[in-house]
Structure 1
Amino acid sequence: MAARKPHKTPDSSAPAQTSVLAPVPTTPTVASVLAVLSAGRLLDLCRLLGCDVRELSAPKDRLLARLADHLGKRLPTLLRELGRDELRAVCRRHGLDPSARARSDLQALLLEAAGLDPKASTVRPPAQSPDGLPTKGQIVHARHRQWLVEDVALGTGNESPLVRLVCLDDDDPGRPIDVLWDLELGARIVAPETHGLGDAPRLDPPAHFGAYLHALKWSAVSAADATRFQAPFRAGIKLMAHQLTPLMKALELPRANLFIADDVGLGKTIEAGLVLQELLLRQQASFVLIVCPASVCLQWQGEMQRRFGLRFEVMTRQFVGYRRQEHGFGTNPWSTHNRFIVSHALLRRPEYRDPLLHHLGERARKGLLILDEAHVAAPASASKYATDTDITRTIRDLAPRFDNRLFLSATPHNGHSNSFSALLEILDPVRFTRGVPVEGKKDLDPIMVRRLKRDLRQLGVERFPRRLLVQLALSNKGGSWRLAQTSYDAETGEEGKAATSDLGAGQPVELLLGEKLQRYTELCAPASGQGRFPFIHLQQRLLSSPEAFARSIEAHAQGLAKKGGPVAAPQQQKLTLDLEADPETHGLSDEAVAEESAAAVRHASASLPSPTEEGRALLAEMRALAEKARREPDAKALALLAWMREHLCPAIGLGEDKRASRKWSPRRVIIFTEYADTKRYLVELLAAAVAWTEDGEQRIMQFHGGMGDEARDEVQRAFNSAPDAHPVRILVATDAAREGVNLQAHCADLFHIDIPWNPARMEQRNGRIDRTLQPAPEVRCHYFIYPERAEDQVLETAVRKIATVQRELGSLGAVLLGQIEAALENGITSKSRATIEKVGAGAKTATVDTELEAQRTDLAALRAENERAGRRLENSRRTLEVEPDALRGVVEIGLTLAGAPTLKDAGKTSDGRPTYELPPLDRSWDVTLDTLRPPRGRTEEFWEWRKKPPLPVTFHPLASLSEGAEQLHLSHPFVKRILDRFLAQGFSAHDLSRVTAVVAPGESVVRVIGYGRLTLFGTGAARLHDQLVPLAAAWSGDAASIKPYKDRATAVMAISSTEKLLASGARAPNATITKRIRENAETLFRALWPHLEAEADALAVEARQGLAERARREANDLRDLLLRQRSAIDKAEARLRQADLFELQDKEQKRQVDLDLRHLDRRRAAAASELETEPAAIEALYEVRMSRLTPVGLVVAFPESMT
């Protein structure tokens, strides 16, 4: 290689420690080369080359001197670590020609200029083992897959060597196996430079090769590039801008320890799913555990399967039984799958928790814990200092075993600073320490996402429904009922216009019963204790319906009649615990709950003193009134029927009157009640009212406890289906439906027949329709009161207070709602209203505002985060070329390769997007197609269900939950099967020759594009970087002497224009040209391969530098964190030791303070150790163990004028 001879200068013999400011010599030296680099790059080289630099913030000249002294005269060693652009900069600095493309050419130029022999300085690859054994780091082919050799253990005597392998294939990355090499049939060492593309018996159609390229591009990820998203394109969701922020933050963290604290209904499940999907794609998560309330276990399972194509198993007694039947009684059920969902209650049980901890060991490699409703793990207390609970200790023991942790909660702060810091310590013990106060935005910004609906509404980035609370006040004058309707905005408190209407004649039986019950309670109820239970229960039931009250007053009377009999303890608590352990039971049946309730009233009433004479008279009067009232519609029912006549069907409740229209509007409504008796009363009344309307018998459905999974799903699907697809308009539900179901697709109206004394239940009910993907601009949540009844005045105060607390007190609202529940738990008395009005009046919100809410008060910062995430999504879309039309093209070509016809048009979705009908496929596709069939009915036989055709498919996000189509995305099982076939080309599949030719209009020369795939692997064959390496060259004659373009702009244009032709389905050349290309394909690719290797080498070094830079940045940030934490620990310890904290009267709180002090001592010692180990562990995450370049394919673009 000819090199420009350097001129000697006075500085040419300067020592390696030459200052940065000294004149640059013409002859390259270690010091002069280092002078070209930045201080950050010098730090990376110090770490890479083993040069100890303790002062990380040292100035550049000191770093340069230290590294130059460490390297001495090892210039070749230094040059081998520099990237192409760095080598070019060094060449320019020394007056050398920087135009060469290959790093090896630039290195040789610099070595010659330094008077060194490039050949003597080249590191040769290790020689092949003489006995044919693979060596560590090589690639082998075995069992139709590609494997990385992790280790080779030589056998003794006649024993075969044991080779430890890790799978490299896209469809099963990271799976380890051990093989006996001599006994493994067909095993061989893979050398891409010798195998190349192999023979090309035919050319692929351009569209087929284009689909193959798309599949490869869509599978490329890089740990160095935290800005490139993959998960949004692998999810069947209508993506909202705010849902990308958690994903963006998670990718910026070395370990995904993230707290998603968004408001209720903003889609935290989807946000967590996006992070989960991205971590799986980047091979940073292998064992995943979701811990959530029992009521939403199946909802999580369904969302992960339907939205992300991820199968989770729900841990239950039944699951354990099935696994032991399949694998043996001694099998640990946690070892039978890698993705599980378990309820909070079940996790506390040793028989489930202990096998899990045993399976995880000290730390689960690449584990991910998702904790839903994470606030349950925070230490809790109603007074000054929060103390640990059982679930706190359980999660604290479990969480450290996972590398990655996602916590989800809309109410993460309970008002206790030590509780909040303890919860955050469980999430990330390096950043936070129990007892050390959190310093708001500065501490939380990297690891927390906190937005309320009103924040996003102010930003105008999303459209969320406005929630109206509609008060329906019922009053009776002169034997006639009158309705006064008042609505107010739940967010602003602004009241709308009031309206009044007459409901018709009716006796005020509810009011009379209320007066009599109040007097009866004064006469007969004890002042406190268990004896008040029957009276509280009667009060609750009267506030629900006359039917519910009638059932309970009879049970009470029966108990009094059996006075003196044995009193058995109710069994309801035990049954409830059993329910939590098995989510698929969805609660006791309505009948069982009602019987438990009646039995409890009878037993408690039997232990009461005999009523006075007045009491007995009142009891008799109430029984008579209730028996009469239970058979007639009460005022609530009259108001409900009037609303339904106005909004659903004019003929409701009018019998055979033919003057009113019997047709139904598309509107739907949910009616919630706490009691099965009230539900039954409403269903019977409504069934009679709609009997004479069109399809009246199909208009009402029920949702109740004890329903199986299939029954719940059937109701949910029917109610969410389009109004013209299913006639149901009214859903009557107990609180079994308050969690775990989404009912917002075509419903924006909800009625509370009774107001729960547990305020959280009312919010959960409202959340069935007030949530993401609600298409209506507003939702209306109605509730009833009788202004003339004292108990209703208290409940109205409670409803208003709930709205105020949630609007003004944010996360602290959950604690205050508990205070409202506590004010009602002993029954509504004359003091209850004043007690509820005081809730929150003296709330000390400063701690919550400082430690949590400061995270979301800066709207400009929230807007900037949203915009930054949006830009990253668009950049990712452009880079990956993920578009609906491109995906449809790949699917159609995949079907063609499978021997099936292409897709057929099947109409449009509700927002005008095209849908397609899948062609008939052979039986090997049955299991895959099951994911596209309509859900199986409860009574439907499996084989009958499987005969049903798949739903139409679309490649666009669905506008609503009720679309009769399925969205195909990159992780849908159907699409994955097709993509896996493309990714296996050249390995386990050979449908494609991986050579194609395309006619290029407007071109004048024949262009050849060779493709390789560069992959950098870390520990355990984890993919740290993956990209396609294209190389363009002009082919003018001799295939063996082809050389790539030197001009970068020309090369980029050639690649871009050729790929556009492939994507547009351009035609192939004629048979003569095709034959010539086919005959020369192997020679062309072999000639390009050394240049591809050189290009890949340059890109690999750039990627390594990116990984090293991220490792350095994150390790340095971690060091700073640990140093700040040591200081914060000292301050926290001093605060806890103050005397006023030891004036706590509660022994448990004193004990907790003592435990926290001891924990601070341990944490201080641990932080000192972590300063040495944790930054190194972060750096190890990005350490490249091996790089690999594999042949991908060859494209020849032939000018149209030459065909």
Structure 2
Amino acid sequence: MSSAEPQSPNPSSVLEALAGERLLDISRTFGIQVEGGRETKARMAERIGLQLEGRLPTVLRELGRDELRAVCRRHGLDDDSRSRSELQARLLEAAGMDPSKSVPPPPEHHLDQLPQPGQVVQARHRQWLVERVDPGGGHDSARLGLVCLDDDAPGEELEILWDLEVGARVIDPAAEGLDPQGCLDPPGHFGAYLHALKWSAVSAADATRFQAPFRAGIKLMAHQLTPLMKALELPRANLFIADDVGLGKTIEAGLVLQELILRQQAEFVLVACPASICLQWRDEMQRRFGLRFEVMTAKFVAWRRQERGFGVNPWSTHNRFIVSHQLLRRPEYREPLLAHLGPRARKSLLILDEAHVAAPSSRSKYAVDSETTDTIRGLSRRFDNRLFLSATPHNGHSNSFSALLEILDPVRFTRGVPIEGPEELAPIMVRRLKRDLRHLGVERFPRRLLVQLALEHDGGGWTATETRYDSETRAEEVGDTTEIGGAEPFELQLAEKLARYTELCAPPKQGRGRLSFIRLQQRLLSSPEAFCRSLEGHAQAVMERGGPVLRDATTQAKLNLEADPDLHGLDDEAAEAEAALELSKDSERLPTPTEEARGLLSELRAIAEKARRRPDAKVRALLAWIRKHQCPAVGDADGGDRKWTDRRVIIFTEWGDTKRYLVDLLGQAVAHTDRGDERILVFHGGMGDESRDEVQRAFNTPPDEHPVRILIATDAAREGINLQAHCADLFHFDLPWNPARLEQRNGRIDRTLQQAEEVRCHYFIFPQRSEDRVLETLVRKVETVQQELGSLGAVLLRGMEKTLEPGIDESTQEQLALIGQDANTEVVDRELESQRKELAKLEAERSKAARRLEASSRALQVHPESLRGVVEVGLRMAGADGLIEGEPTREGHPTFSMPELDRSWDRTLDSLRPPRGRDERFWEWRQREPRPVTFEPLARLTTDTEQLHLAHPVVKRILDRFLAQGFSAHDLSRVAAVVAPSESVIRVVAYARLSLFGPGAARLHDEIIAVPAPWSGNEAGVEPYKDAATAQRAIETTERLLALDAKPPGKAIQAKIAERAAALYSDLWPALEDEADARAVAAKNGLTQRARREADELRGLLRRQKRAIEKQANIVAQMELFARAETKVDREQQRQLKLDHEHMKARYEAIDAELETEPRAIEELYEVRMTRLSPVGLAVSWPEAMT
């Protein structure tokens, strides 16, 4: 090492001690252009330093504590100090400058005491940041624009007249200090207060710190953290969650939503979803995340207008809404929403569930925008953040996929420009299948078995043979054959005669009247009752050209043209009437039947009438299964045990007529069993919110608490409800010809929180009936597709549906085998599925998210025990007793009952009461006892216990009281003392809260700062520890004792501490300021680095988009020319090509302007407008030997 004199500090020599990335940040701070990738670090430091010559004090003020220490070492100076100001002074002195003349002057204090922008004021029992000041003139009072800083109302805006505002004052944190007024807080109270403050701290600079998982009442699975991790790494949370059915997309979206709310990036939230899952979204957000949403309905609008006046915009009456896709398309709901949002709603989030509905779709080669596409596109651009959810995001059309992605993130994607590879999707797409996660061995999902019941007639009666098939292993196991009774094979007779009748009368596959024969075939494959009703309508239309059935159907259909938007889908009766009308009209188009056809039709009617009220073979097989697994006495009034087991089953049918058929026959079969009239529930279309909720709740209640064992459901229940809590068996009584519905049905029980090791999905086939061989192929292929092909499977399922549309005949099976051999499947595989095929990357993402959760847990110290301690303290502060321990949960976790609380807690405790019954009066429901609570995650869906978490209304109320201490609440003195065994030195720890605020008082960074010092116990002042390790040990020891609610010292010692607490805190305040200064600069540097990185990434994205558009625009222009010349291309397709081409040109021209505005907008998000340090409290650990 050279013995030469160290160089005198100057801007260039100072900058040489910094990392290359920090030089880029410094250059941008001072507006100096450098080319980071092309210059060496030394050359960059020299160029920047030359332009900053003579501005050494300004440069030093931009450096963090560790950077100043490095600069001191580089210049041979002592770096042993925790104060930035001391380190700066040493460097300035070494440069021959007077530090006292180089520090910035203190802010001016105006004689009239008028606050200035950036100061903090107290008004109306809250603390506000002054954003603007209008001094007024003459005798006018000054007008102040304020933004709230309090934790329970962040960002709330207020305007006041300063001179007329009673009690308003400027806050000086250094003068606030502490005033214990002669008494100390119990250690447990102070420990709870400290926990509350730490749990509320967030930082936009730290994208690796999770908060949302600790504010969710869920059993967290590792894979559910990946979307949260990716969302926090984006400048705006534009994310597509495309996980498989049943992996918990709603929970994943809820975690992202909760985190954005905590980081003050989501003040207005809109969830758009199918009508059938509006309630599920509302309940999941309320129970799992403590977030109250309003469901937008006609009733809600009427209620708000009655409450606030007819002219009120209902969208302005709350900040979180759920709306169905159906209502969003209606102008009377959409236009007020757009008016409320304005051109761009600041701090807003759109969550679009089943997002594939917004994708352009078409049976042609080029997908065309739909009404929903236009609606969502116009809406989404008004939101800052967007979350899209869909298990099937790609429909096989490249332009459709890119259009959907452009709606999600118009900066990254342009419609019509294909996705080139997985790296384009990686930042914004999360895509996993259950199969992927099972292969990684990181999650436990049940094994799914297909159980086929083959029903054959041997001349004397029916038999059922069970075959189990595991689609993942391809293992097949044939079980025993069981006799199930029944003499006549009505099903086979009807199928044979219908086939002949169709052969005689049906037109070609595309001919008029073909639909009626397809419908008859579908209904025959469902049930004798459904077939009989459709056959009667067809016969009357053909033979009599109209009649009672047709007239009734027409009347019913007219009555149901206007479906109630508050109900979930058409009522089953309405749907059946509509289908009957369609069948009758189609049948009228047929020519007069021949004599043979008339004879066959009469035979069909006679057999169907005979069979319609008798149990068919499928019902007999179902009853045999129920006797074996649920209740031996079902269907046999004289034999077997009438008690029921705990096993539950769901029976799905596509048709309302078949539902009634099942309800009647199964109802008769179970009537004489134990509580037989309570064993069956029905779920159907057109049910209101309360009815749906009541059925779902009953079926998910533990079997020993509710008698229901059988749920008969139409396809209204195939999506939007969770039924897996205590059910692992499902029957497809009929197989829908839309294969996607099979997976939706199976997804009711094959999903997260399913406790069974395997789920069993049963279906029936008749090997002696030709149509069933096709259906057997269909079921196996659907299962394989869903297990292995992901979104590619959705394309294949649509192909299967199209194949089945003309009906089932000899060629159908061969056509099914050919599905998947077209260009669409290659497009999906290349553009979407390729990004999830590398399991190593999926595992790396999962592990990375898990490590971040673990680090966040260590930093926040959120554990069930600590949370329980805070709740206990909060309840006692409210004047109540502590929690009362009760029976453990089914998993063995402790539960607790709430103590008696005063009436002010009624609304808060409503969150703990059992769900209100449909006919239960509100005041009666209010009398019900709150449910027991637990602090451990619940392993299954249950309504008998409530998990308390940081966002639960009960916990939130308690935490809010702690967060208000020293401001709007004064329950605590904020000084505590604990006895420290095995210690020999009295230690004091002073706490303060450092907050950095951005535009609109958005909290960019929050942390609790602690400075410990030894104390002699007399009036002498205190000096903080110099050694960092010693200081950290002192803090950890004190906080551990506070968390354990250790005993306080005697009253005499407490009196001494109370008397000297204010002086002790004042002595340590300069050290707190020094530490806060160092950490604030570090946080600012982190924010600056993130802003630079994200702005640079955005510039790169925009430039790549411009090149891609330039390339694709020529291709689309050629396609447009060919489309004009090709007569077979429909007008809609031509129009869409023209629109996309024009959009590409407009987008290309707009990118140049966005290269200037968009990166700057991102940098402004992280711009620190104010730094604030607030007093928190003082803790003293007193050695036991000195008590």
Which TM-score band (shorter chain)?
over 0.9
Determine the structure 2 residue equivalent to 1:3: none
**CA shift in 2, pair 1:577/1:1006, >3 Å:** farther
Give distance in 2, aligned partners of 1:75 and 1:458: 58
User: Retained in 1: the 8 A contact 2:649–2:730?
Assistant: yes
- Candidates 160, 164, 177, aligned match of 1:183: 164
**CA shift in 2, pair 1:41/1:24, >3 Å:** farther
| Structure 2 counterparts to residues 270-669 of structure 1, below 5 A | 270-527=251-508, 528-560=510-542, 562-563=544-545, 578-579=562-563, 582=565, 584-605=566-587, 608-657=590-639, 660-669=640-649
For 1:828, give the aligned amino acid: I
Determine the structure 2 residue equivalent to 1:113: 94
CA offset at residue 498 of structure 1? Answer: 4.3
Cα RMSD after superposing both structures = 2.1
Determine the structure 1 residue equivalent to 2:77: 96
| Structure 2 counterparts to residues 1100-1115 of structure 1, below 5 A | 1100-1115=1080-1095
For 2:300, give the aligned amino acid: F
SS of match in other structure, 1:380: coil
CA offset at residue 554 of structure 1? Answer: 2.7
Matched, 1:74 2:58: no
- Candidates 927, 936, 941, aligned match of 1:947: 927
* Identity across the alignment (%): 66
- Candidates 1143, 1153, 1157, aligned match of 1:1169: 1153
Equivalent residues, number: 1179
Determine the structure 2 residue equivalent to 1:13: none
SS of match in other structure, 2:48: helix
Determine the structure 1 residue equivalent to 2:1046: 1066
SS of match in other structure, 1:495: strand
Determine the structure 2 residue equivalent to 1:6: none
SS of match in other structure, 1:381: coil
Matched, 1:703 2:683: yes
Determine the structure 2 residue equivalent to 1:778: 758
Determine the structure 1 residue equivalent to 2:727: 747
| Structure 2 counterparts to residues 1011-1090 of structure 1, below 5 A | 1011-1037=991-1017, 1039=1019, 1041-1090=1021-1070
Give distance in 2, aligned partners of 1:591 and 1:1157: 47
**CA shift in 2, pair 1:709/1:525, >3 Å:** same
Determine the structure 2 residue equivalent to 1:893: 873
| Structure 2 counterparts to residues 157-236 of structure 1, below 5 A | 157-236=138-217
Give distance in 2, aligned partners of 1:1163 and 1:496: 58
- Candidates 1171, 1182, 1186, aligned match of 1:1187: 1171
Give distance in 2, aligned partners of 1:337 and 1:570: 42
Deviations 1:1090-1110 (A, max 9, x none): 111111111101111111111
Give distance in 2, aligned partners of 1:542 and 1:633: 14
Q: Which moved more, 1:50-59 or 1:139-148?
A: 50-59
Give distance in 1, aligned partners of 2:328 and 2:544: 42
Deviations 1:171-210 (A, max 9, x none): 1101111111111111111111111123433100000000
Deviations 1:1061-1115 (A, max 9, x none): 0001110000110110010011111111111111111110111111111111111
Give distance in 1, aligned partners of 2:577 and 2:255: 44
SS of match in other structure, 1:496: strand
Matched, 1:902 2:905: no
CA offset at residue 688 of structure 1? Answer: 2.1
User: Retained in 1: the 8 A contact 2:435–2:787?
Assistant: no
Deviations 1:578-625 (A, max 9, x none): 54x72x412333333334444444455455544333333223222222
Q: Which moved more, 1:829-838 or 1:1078-1087?
A: 829-838
Determine the structure 2 residue equivalent to 1:60: 41
SS of match in other structure, 1:1100: helix
User: Retained in 1: the 8 A contact 2:182–2:1055?
Assistant: no
SS of match in other structure, 1:693: coil
Give distance in 1, aligned partners of 2:165 and 2:806: 74
CA offset at residue 77 of structure 1? Answer: 0.7
Structure 1: which 5+ residue stretches go unaligned? 1-8, 11-22
For 2:178, give the aligned amino acid: L
Q: Which moved more, 1:433-442 or 1:881-890?
A: 433-442
Give distance in 2, aligned partners of 1:108 and 1:572: 88
Give distance in 1, aligned partners of 2:313 and 2:1184: 65
Matched, 1:932 2:916: no
Give distance in 2, aligned partners of 1:590 and 1:420: 34
Determine the structure 2 residue equivalent to 1:725: 705
**CA shift in 2, pair 1:1129/1:564, >3 Å:** closer
Give distance in 2, aligned partners of 1:99 and 1:1065: 36
Determine the structure 2 residue equivalent to 1:19: none
CA offset at residue 1122 of structure 1? Answer: 2.0
CA offset at residue 403 of structure 1? Answer: 1.4
SS of match in other structure, 1:845: helix
SS of match in other structure, 1:914: coil
SS of match in other structure, 1:931: helix
Q: Which moved more, 1:437-446 or 1:1071-1080?
A: 437-446
| Structure 2 counterparts to residues 906-921 of structure 1, below 5 A | 906-921=886-901
Structure 2: which 5+ residue stretches go unaligned? none
Determine the structure 2 residue equivalent to 1:1132: 1112
- Candidates 1079, 1086, 1094, aligned match of 1:1099: 1079
Give distance in 2, aligned partners of 1:963 and 1:803: 32
Q: Which moved more, 1:454-463 or 1:594-603?
A: 594-603
TM-score by length of 1: 0.95
SS of match in other structure, 1:1085: helix
CA offset at residue 1039 of structure 1? Answer: 4.2
SS of match in other structure, 2:363: coil
Determine the structure 1 residue equivalent to 2:808: 828
User: Retained in 2: the 8 A contact 1:265–1:772?
Assistant: yes
SS of match in other structure, 2:644: coil
Give distance in 2, aligned partners of 1:57 and 1:329: 64
For 1:1189, give the aligned amino acid: L
CA offset at residue 626 of structure 1? Answer: 1.8
CA offset at residue 990 of structure 1? Answer: 0.6
Matched, 1:679 2:659: yes
SS of match in other structure, 2:427: coil
CA offset at residue 1126 of structure 1? Answer: 2.3
**CA shift in 2, pair 1:1158/1:689, >3 Å:** same
Deviations 1:763-798 (A, max 9, x none): 211111111111111111111111222222222232
SS of match in other structure, 2:720: coil
Give distance in 2, aligned partners of 1:54 and 1:589: 66
CA offset at residue 857 of structure 1? Answer: 1.1
Q: Which moved more, 1:472-481 or 1:213-222?
A: 472-481
CA offset at residue 525 of structure 1? Answer: 3.7
Q: Which moved more, 1:828-837 or 1:976-985?
A: 828-837
User: Retained in 1: the 8 A contact 2:202–2:1006?
Assistant: yes
User: Retained in 1: the 8 A contact 2:516–2:583?
Assistant: yes
Give distance in 1, aligned partners of 2:876 and 2:209: 31
CA offset at residue 1156 of structure 1? Answer: 2.3
User: Retained in 1: the 8 A contact 2:180–2:974?
Assistant: no
**CA shift in 2, pair 1:407/1:1039, >3 Å:** farther
**CA shift in 2, pair 1:564/1:948, >3 Å:** closer
Determine the structure 2 residue equivalent to 1:818: 798
CA offset at residue 148 of structure 1? Answer: 0.5
TM-score by length of 2: 0.96
Deviations 1:886-943 (A, max 9, x none): 0000001000000001000111001000000000111111111111100011111111
